[in-house]
């Protein structure tokens, strides 16, 4: 069984956790980019097709562009980010860890609910099965995105939360077996730049409404 999807999913979860607790600009950016950059690898049997490769490259370019725009939006705050409270952050991280476990273990149950004919194969699947880890990482990203980032008042964290939500949805549904087309990846890669550009626009200008 190919361990790459599981490793990529774990990297995504660790990156998301880092983004949630980061207190410096560089740690936050590293967390966001590592949480999102490896998402295309979280699937079984990477296709050989050029179209998929181009899609994945376009997605990576979008993620890096989004990272740059996040960096720009964080200029106003300086190298240290407004701190978040430790205990709620740790509680969310524990919850995200539990979500990974739940996703990995509960994956066959979800498959059975959606399509009973796939249940026997899902129950017999290995613990390194890509779908399990994709589901777990998706749940963790969703929890961190909704709970820690979109709840924040800071523009850059909001932008990361927006990207985590769409990334999480993609991870969960592809983990359950949905065959997303090649062009889905480049489109997904546009969410972080769009979100980060909006955050940057609000970080960089004074709130003088006309």
Binding site residues, another protein, CB under 8 A: 51, 54-55, 113-115, 142, 146, 150, 153, 158, 161-162, 165-170, 172-174, 176-184, 187-188, 190-191, 194-195, 197-198, 201-202, 207, 209-210
CB-based contact 29:15 (threshold 8 Å) = no
Residue 12 CB, nearest distance to another protein (Å)?
15
For residues 99 and 199, what is the distance between their CA atoms, to the nearest angstrom? 28
Per the listing, tokens 């069984």 go with 1
Q: How far apart are the first and last CA of the chain?
A: 59
Is the Cβ of residue 93 or residue 195 nearer to another protein in the bound state?
Answer: 195
Computed from CA positions of residues 44, 50, 53, 54, in that sequence, does the dihedral angle turn out positive or negative?
A: negative
Residue 148 CB, nearest distance to another protein (Å)?
13
Residue 8 CB, nearest distance to another protein (Å)?
18
**With 0-12 CB in 10 A as exposed, 13-18 as middle and 19+ as buried, what is 135?**
buried
Strand partners, 80: 24
Is the Cβ of residue 113 or residue 127 nearer to another protein in the bound state?
Answer: 113
Is the Cβ of residue 61 or residue 90 nearer to another protein in the bound state?
Answer: 61
Residue 11 CB, nearest distance to another protein (Å)?
20
Is the Cβ of residue 7 or residue 198 nearer to another protein in the bound state?
Answer: 198
């Amino acid at each position: 069984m190919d361990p790459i999807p599981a490793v990529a999913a774990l990297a995504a979860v660790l990156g998301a956790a880092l983004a949630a607790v980061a207190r410096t600009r560089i740690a936050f950016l590293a967390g966001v980019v590592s949480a999102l950059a490896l998402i295309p690898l979280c699937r079984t049997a990477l296709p050989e097709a050029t179209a998929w490769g181009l899609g994945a490259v376009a997605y990576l370019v979008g993620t890096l562009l989004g990272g740059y725009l996040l960096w720009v939006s964080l200029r106003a705050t300086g190298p240290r980010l407004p701190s978040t409270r430790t205990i709620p952050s740790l509680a969310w991280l524990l919850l995200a860890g539990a979500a990974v476990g739940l996703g990995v273990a509960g994956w066959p149950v979800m498959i059975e609910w959606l399509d009973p004919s796939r249940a026997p194969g899902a129950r017999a699947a290995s613990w390194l099965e890509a779908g399990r880890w994709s589901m777990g990482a998706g749940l963790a990203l969703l929890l961190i995105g909704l709970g820690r980032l979109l709840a924040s008042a800071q523009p850059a964290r909001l932008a990361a939360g927006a990207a985590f939500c769409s990334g999480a949805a993609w991870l969960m549904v592809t983990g359950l077996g949905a065959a997303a087309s090649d062009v889905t990846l480049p489109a997904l890669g546009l969410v972080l730049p769009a979100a980060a550009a909006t955050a940057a626009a609000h970080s960089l200008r004074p709130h003088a409404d006309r």
